[in-house]
Amino acid sequence: MRLRKYKEPVRMRILGMLLLGLSVSLAGCTLDEGDHEQMVNLAEVKDDPASQLRNLNAAIENSERDGSLYARRAVVLLRKGELEQALEDADRAVALTKKQPSSLFVKAQVLRAMGKTEEAMPLALAAERNSFQSAPLYVLLGELYLEQKEYKKSLEQLDKAQELSPYNEFAFYYKGRVWEETGDTAKAVHNFRLALEQDPDFMEPQRELAAIMVSKGDLEQATAYLLKSKAKAKNDAKLWLTQGRIYEAVQKQDSAILAYRKAVSINDTLSGAQFKLAVFELGQGNNEEALERLEKIYKPYRSDPDYLARLASAYERNGLYSKAMETYQLLLAKDPTAVYAKRAVARLKYRIARPMPDSAAVRLQEQIER
């Protein structure tokens, strides 16, 4: 069942939902005593940020103590990407409305947009505790719990969102993300497709489906989803990562490397692209560059045996023998059958205990490996 088709850019859609959700709750906020001047009729404001902003500015001039107006203006500024100004208005709204739940929710949304998710979470939870029932609030909480890898709590919040809005595409999308991260690809694909049934132009589910299809080896479907996604967001780093993986699958290594470099130029914390480039750099003998990339992605990859093997090798190639040995030992804790890691530990113990010229070290390594 398709409920609606959004016209605005994807990254603003959840904020559009927020505006709709707030139109009722913020309307209930009352003015302080003495603020009885005629206000702009906000219900007649066009769905246009510039018009909304002009009308809200005029309304605030007439009623400077009405916190609901600051909350509304914060949302408009948020949609315009003016985050610092939006946060200032959100702070005023919280103060003037005495921490009314809807104002807390607005501030949580602004903080989430600024990447301050740890600060956003307690505000969103406070809004929920104060009986602010809203599908966008539950979607936000689902997203925040997902980021913290609290998957059960994330699904609980997304279920609440769908109790109020059964065909909410954002709830389907974040459920798909939960199942994708927890390894249930079938459920992930199902939820991403349900999100697209509600809105065929929703880019993020298409992007995730493209990546999943590459993993499944279905390059035809992967390419179809990728092309649809890139038509809407050509500078999305994850899309370039998936493009690189498709190039690799069809043996276009040079094109793959260019795609991975494009991905990290957009987002240098994208671990998948950094790992791919690190492997390439090791293959080219660019050991310092490889180590820099590998160290940057230690947290998300620290339990991956393949990653630990590459990191240990990079440490050894850069002459950091103690770190290399520690990393090989971590690898052995994950995979006790890794014979090459056992040999490397023995080699490195000997080298650390008795430093020797490089030529002698090479001969020793050859003897140990034989």
Whether residues 296 and 263 share a domain: the answer is no
Whether residues 126 and 144 share a domain: the answer is no
For residue 105, the domain's CATH number is 1.25.40.10
Task: Report yes or no on 281 lying in a domain.
Answer: no
Residue pair 62/39 in contact by the 8 Å Cβ criterion: yes
- pLDDT computed for residue 11 by the predictor: 44
> Has residue 319 got a pLDDT over 80?
yes
Whether residues 96 and 22 share a domain: the answer is yes
Tally of CB atoms within 10 A around 271: 18
Q: Which domain holds residue 327?
A: 287-370
Task: Report yes or no on 141 lying in a domain.
Answer: yes
Nearest residue to 39 (alpha-carbon basis) of 24, 57, 51: 57
Task: Report yes or no on 313 lying in a domain.
Answer: yes
Whether residues 7 and 29 share a domain: the answer is yes
Whether residues 232 and 259 share a domain: the answer is yes
Quote the mean pLDDT of the chain.
86
Q: How far apart are CA 115 and CA 215, in angstroms?
A: 29
Find the angle CA(189)-CA(191)-CA(194) to the nearest 5 degrees: 110
> Has residue 277 got a pLDDT over 70?
yes
Q: How far apart are CA 249 and CA 280, in angstroms?
A: 15
DSSP state, 42?
G
Whether residues 73 and 160 share a domain: the answer is no
Altogether, the residues listed in the chain come to a count of 370
Whether residues 7 and 101 share a domain: the answer is yes
pLDDT digit string (tens) for 27-38? 444 333 333 333
Q: Provide mean pLDDT across the span 227-238.
A: 94
Nearest residue to 174 (alpha-carbon basis) of 131, 143, 132: 143
Cβ partners under 8 Å of residue 278, min gap 6: 289, 290, 291, 293, 294, 297, 310, 314
- Where does a domain end: 211, 237, 267? 267
Whether residues 15 and 113 share a domain: the answer is yes
pLDDT digit string (tens) for 182-202? 999 999 999 999 999 999 999
Task: Report yes or no on 42 lying in a domain.
Answer: yes
pLDDT digit string (tens) for 45-57? 456 778 888 889 8
Whether residues 41 and 75 share a domain: the answer is yes
- pLDDT computed for residue 249 by the predictor: 96
Lookup result for tokens 């510039």:
50
Q: Count up the domains in the chain and report the number.
A: 4
DSSP state, 99?
S
Task: Report yes or no on 160 lying in a domain.
Answer: yes
Whether residues 140 and 126 share a domain: the answer is no
- pLDDT computed for residue 35 by the predictor: 35
- pLDDT computed for residue 201 by the predictor: 94
Task: Report yes or no on 272 lying in a domain.
Answer: no
User: Tokens standing for 68?
Assistant: 């609901």
Whether residues 360 and 255 share a domain: the answer is no
Q: Provide mean pLDDT across the span 212-233.
A: 96
Sign of CA dihedral 178, 163, 70, 8: positive
- Where does a domain end: 104, 130, 156? 130
Task: Report yes or no on 280 lying in a domain.
Answer: no
Lookup result for tokens 């990447």:
115
Angstrom CA distances, 120 to 19, 316, 338, stand at 18, 42, 43
Whether residues 40 and 116 share a domain: the answer is yes
Task: Report yes or no on 216 lying in a domain.
Answer: yes
Q: How far apart are CA 110 and CA 120, in angstroms?
A: 8
- pLDDT computed for residue 351 by the predictor: 87
- pLDDT computed for residue 293 by the predictor: 97
Q: How far apart are CA 12 and CA 202, in angstroms?
A: 11
